[in-house]
Amino acid sequence: DAKTTQPNSMESNEEEPVHLPCNHSTISGTDYIHWYRQLPSQGPEYVIHGLTSNVNNRMASLAIAEDRKSSTLILHRATLRDAAVYYCLGGGFQKLVFGTGTRLLVSP
């Protein structure tokens, strides 16, 4: 499983876009990039995943670098409900190895 590196914390203002970076330089060619988030006092929640191409869903967008050594989770308009710890993971679907993630603070 790929080791990932994320900033400990980031801050954003409400209704502004947020770009959450992740480095995964040891990722293999078949490893997916997954993002989960964990709101206070809840279990982690799936956000998005991708392999090579950029991906969009109703929650977020995932931009994957061409060399796949880094990726960015994009929240297009942050809301107060997006305040959470965001985890970037590399690997298969069944062996998720969580790091400490990025704590996103959203101010009104």
Site for another protein, rule CB under 8 A: 34, 41-46, 49, 87, 92-101
Tell me whether residue 13 or residue 57 sits nearer to another protein (CB atom). Answer: 57
> Could you give the C-alpha distances from 104 to 20, 36, 53, 66, in angstroms and in order?
9, 13, 25, 26
Tell me how far, at minimum, the Cβ of 38 lies from another protein, in Å.
Answer: 8
Tell me whether residue 49 or residue 69 sits nearer to another protein (CB atom). Answer: 49
DSSP string, 26-64: T--TT-EEEEEEE-TTS--EEEEEESSS-EE-SS-EEEE
Tell me how far, at minimum, the Cβ of 47 lies from another protein, in Å.
Answer: 9
Tell me how far, at minimum, the Cβ of 14 lies from another protein, in Å.
Answer: 26
